Chain A
Amino acid sequence: MRTNHYALPQFSRRFMPIWRRNFMVWKKMAASSVLGHLADPVIYMLGLGYGLGGMLPAIDGIPYITFLAAGTVCYSTMNSASFEALYSGFARMHEQRTWEAILNTPITLDDVVFSEMIWAASKSLLSGLAVLAVIWVMGLTHSALSLWIIPLAFLVGLCFASLGLIMTSLAPGYDFFMYYFTLIITPMVILCGVFFPVSQLPGWLQAVSAWLPLTHAIDLARPLLTDKVPPQVLLHVVVLACYALIAFYIALVLFRRRLSK
């Protein structure tokens, strides 16, 4: 009668009350949270965009700051989902025992993990929206296609939330997350075309980059901001969705092994 840790996830709408709980917590510190979503990416975008961009020629016909804006939207949504799934998720699972309280109700672990993913992606969406608003206000894009950044931010959020949850399911403590940021997130920022085109990298690094989800996110975001339909939309969306689904399944199995024993 052993529990099957490998069973497929059972999705239900029962994750909604957990999402509402997280939203209620978020509302209490909304001001500082929005500031956090905005300050860091905007400072990078303005500083590097004008400072460095002033010395650089246009890239593929677009000014550097616009080039950088697409990267910034993606990496700030990535960061937002990652921090939520790692640090806040770990606090809810371990430190505050929020999950334990929820699991004593008719809600199951599958619902809880699903709610973590959706919530972290929701915060990504917010982060993406905030950066997008700055891009609009600064007049870096006038394209209606840039509205597609909004669902893209959510998809990028799902992807990195799920990847982050794998780490959370394995983490003995907060220090553990340094590995993830150093070994996964930082290389992703450097190799995926946030600051410069991937084509600048040597061939073997380009090959690595092609497998990383942030590359695919940026390949979608950059044309959208310059009023172009991205080439190979389906491929990029499928890669991001696959990362999200597979990572979610792995995280769920690991959480079951950790908590349902």
Chain B
Amino acid sequence: MNTVIKARGLQKSYGDLRVVDGLDLDIRKGECFGLLGPNGAGKTTTLRLLLGLIAPDSGELHLLQHAVPGDARVARLRVGVVPQFDNLDPDFTVTENLLVYGRYFGMIDAQIHARIPALLEFANLTAKREARVPTLSGGMKRRLTLARALVNDPEIIFLDEPTTGLDPQARHLIWQRLRALTAQGKTLLLTTHFMEEAERLCHRLAVMDNGKLISTGSPRELIEQNIEPQVVEVFGETSADWAQRYAAQFAHRHEISGESVFCYVNDAQPLVAHLQGQDELRYMHRPANLEDVFLKLTGREMRD
């Protein structure tokens, strides 16, 4: 298997805070790899380390076979980045943004102009090619940022929360485009805290918290390895009382969050039969998903 990103024992602290704490990572050519984690888990710092924008305190790192941060500049010739915050050039049109960005990679104008129509097509922005950036919608800006990241025809694309702040329509369009990129054989490394995004796009995922990878695998593997297959959510004012009396009897494991009780079970039938007799409670029975895994691994408390 062809490894395009390889990290061993990556460590980065700010003051006393270990933001990245002994990270090992192997990302294979052509896969879409998702880095999941709550805010402050160390995802963005990890991306910055992998790109060679900051130096680790210790550890070893290779990006496309180049030692990073030492040879990061050469490695970045073949990398595209979609940053978390919009940093398009507001003074320029859509086309000018692509042109100017291509020059940063040492491309000559003729080369860039030859690529622009296909990039605009890919980003669904052909009709907007002469529009200035401030006139674009949030979704269009994101698509332009994605097109810009492709200007150098990169082998790996880093995406830091690519759909945060987008409406569902815009988000689905981005997902479709990212799938098209993996179909072309590009390697994608994305950070997200949308489980649906991770589940739909990623071949493999790693859940990150406190600077460490807690669990790695395909979405299905993560669910199988970490959590019972069935979930029954119980709602109602009396749900907490009910949980105290019955939850342990029916559920392998349960968690209380406000007026909801999450029961994790291997077989939901006995619990569902019992709940049908409880008039004051409502319930929902569903298969376990990535969000359950995420909440189990990283806890339910807020991370602000």
> Complex formed: what's the CA distance from A175 to B2 in Å?
51
On whether the beta carbons of B87 and A97 are closer than 8 Å, the reply is yes
Interface string of A96-108 (1 = CB under 8 A from B): 1110111111111
Answer yes or no: A2 CB below 8 A from chain B CBs.
yes
CB-CB < 8 A to A197: which residues of B? none
Seed contacts A17-B103, A100-B85, A101-B88; 19 additional CB < 8 Å A-B pairs:
A1-B55, A1-B58, A2-B57, A14-B106, A17-B104, A18-B104, A21-B100, A24-B96, A25-B89, A25-B91, A96-B90, A97-B87, A100-B83, A106-B77, A107-B73, A107-B104, A260-B53, A260-B54, A261-B14
Least CB distance from B55 to A in Å reads 4
CB-CB < 8 A to A17: which residues of B? 100, 103-104, 106
Please judge, given known A-B contacts A17-B100, A104-B76, whether A3 and B55 are in contact too, CB under 8 Å.
yes
What's the dominant secondary structure at chain B's contact region?
loop
Answer yes or no: A20 CB below 8 A from chain B CBs.
yes
Residue of B nearest to A99 (CB): B87
Least CB distance from B91 to A in Å reads 5
Interface string of B60-95 (1 = CB under 8 A from A): 000000000100011011010101011111111000
Answer yes or no: B105 CB below 8 A from chain A CBs.
yes
Answer yes or no: B178 CB below 8 A from chain A CBs.
no
On whether the beta carbons of B89 and A106 are closer than 8 Å, the reply is no
> Complex formed: what's the CA distance from A106 to B71 in Å?
10
Least CB distance from A100 to B in Å reads 5
On whether the beta carbons of B81 and A104 are closer than 8 Å, the reply is yes
Residue of A nearest to B82 (CB): A104
Answer yes or no: A258 CB below 8 A from chain B CBs.
no
Residue of A nearest to B45 (CB): A261
On whether the beta carbons of B92 and A1 are closer than 8 Å, the reply is no
On whether the beta carbons of B54 and A3 are closer than 8 Å, the reply is yes
CB-CB < 8 A to B105: which residues of A? 105-106
CB-CB < 8 A to A3: which residues of B? 54-55, 69
Residue of A nearest to B78 (CB): A106
Residue of B nearest to A96 (CB): B90
Chain B residues at the A interface, C-beta cutoff of 8 Å: 14, 51, 53-59, 69, 73-74, 76-77, 79, 81, 83, 85-92, 96, 100-101, 103-106, 152
The 8 Å CB contact of B76, one of A101, A106, A261, is A106
Please judge, given known A-B contacts A96-B87, A106-B76, whether A24 and B100 are in contact too, CB under 8 Å.
yes
- 12 A-B pairs with CB atoms under 8 Å apart are A14-B106, A17-B106, A20-B100, A20-B103, A21-B89, A25-B91, A28-B91, A101-B87, A104-B83, A106-B77, A106-B105, A107-B104
> Complex formed: what's the CA distance from A24 to B89 in Å?
11
CB-CB < 8 A to A104: which residues of B? 51, 53, 76, 79, 81, 83
On whether the beta carbons of B87 and A98 are closer than 8 Å, the reply is yes
Least CB distance from A261 to B in Å reads 6
Residue of B nearest to A108 (CB): B73
CB-CB < 8 A to A106: which residues of B? 73-74, 76-77, 104-106
Number of residues of chain A lying within 8 A (CB) of chain B: 25
Residue of A nearest to B158 (CB): A104
On whether the beta carbons of A1 and B56 are closer than 8 Å, the reply is yes
> Complex formed: what's the CA distance from A192 to B48 in Å?
46
CB-CB < 8 A to B14: which residues of A? 261
> Complex formed: what's the CA distance from A106 to B83 in Å?
15
Least CB distance from A106 to B in Å reads 5
- Give the one of A18, A21, A97 with max B CB within 10 A: A21
CB-CB < 8 A to A1: which residues of B? 55-59
Interface string of A9-51 (1 = CB under 8 A from B): 0000010011011001100100000000000000000000000
CB-CB < 8 A to B91: which residues of A? 24-25, 28
CB-CB < 8 A to A100: which residues of B? 83, 85, 87
On whether the beta carbons of B54 and A101 are closer than 8 Å, the reply is no
On whether the beta carbons of A103 and B53 are closer than 8 Å, the reply is yes
Least CB distance from B295 to A in Å reads 31
CB-CB < 8 A to A20: which residues of B? 100, 103
CB-CB < 8 A to A14: which residues of B? 106
On whether the beta carbons of B54 and A105 are closer than 8 Å, the reply is no
Least CB distance from A72 to B in Å reads 30
Least CB distance from A244 to B in Å reads 25
- Give the one of A2, A101, A261 with max B CB within 10 A: A101
> Complex formed: what's the CA distance from A3 to B53 in Å?
10
CB-CB < 8 A to A107: which residues of B? 73, 104
On whether the beta carbons of B92 and A25 are closer than 8 Å, the reply is yes
CB-CB < 8 A to B92: which residues of A? 24-25
CB-CB < 8 A to B59: which residues of A? 1
CB-CB < 8 A to A28: which residues of B? 91
- Give the one of B57, B58, B85, B106 with max A CB within 10 A: B106
Residue of A nearest to B105 (CB): A105
Least CB distance from A189 to B in Å reads 31
Least CB distance from B119 to A in Å reads 16
Least CB distance from A30 to B in Å reads 13
Residue of A nearest to B52 (CB): A108
> Complex formed: what's the CA distance from A187 to B76 in Å?
45
> Complex formed: what's the CA distance from A108 to B70 in Å?
12
